[in-house]
Amino acid sequence: MIPTVFSPLSLWRAGATLGSTGILLATYGAHALKNTVSDPAWIKNWQTATNYQLLHALAILYLSNAHHPATNQSPLLAGTLMTIGTTMFSGVLYLKTLSVKARVSRILAPTVPIGGLLMCAGWAFLWF
């Protein structure tokens, strides 16, 4: 059996949290972000972050119920990788957008591709 980080219930809650916060952040991005950030590239980054977050929230919700405890734990591991990857990828893009000139933006920059790789690994792990 493959060890997982999240139980089905924890994964369900993570997907629900990513979905609900994704809606809120997408709404903020559509209506209020332009008052804070003027560069269209950063607004596009925000949109990318919300799109990936909402897509993966749905996938994580599905994966929380797509396993068979005795034979197949890979959906839970895939969902765990997607949860961690989405949090890193989207979360850091949000922080970078809101703190474009801050030092935190440069420090956290390497986290975005790592999060992207974890999301990709989650999808790839479904092959097994």
pLDDT tens digits, one per residue of 60-85: 999 999 876 666 778 999 999 999 99
Whole-model pTM? 0.90
pLDDT tens digits, one per residue of 73-118: 789 999 999 999 999 999 999 999 988 766 777 788 889 999 999 9
Q: How far is CA 35 from CA 39, 59, 72, 90, in A?
A: 11, 32, 48, 20
Dist CA 44 CA 14 (whole Å): 25
Neighbouring C-beta atoms of residue 109, cutoff 10 Å? 11
Q: Which fold does the domain 8-125 belong to in CATH?
A: Four Helix Bundle (Hemerythrin (Met), subunit A) (1.20.120)
- Contact status, residue 126 vs residue 74, Cβ threshold 8 Å: yes
Phi, psi of 72, rounded to the nearest 5 degrees: -140, 100
Sequence ranges of the domains in the chain:
8-125
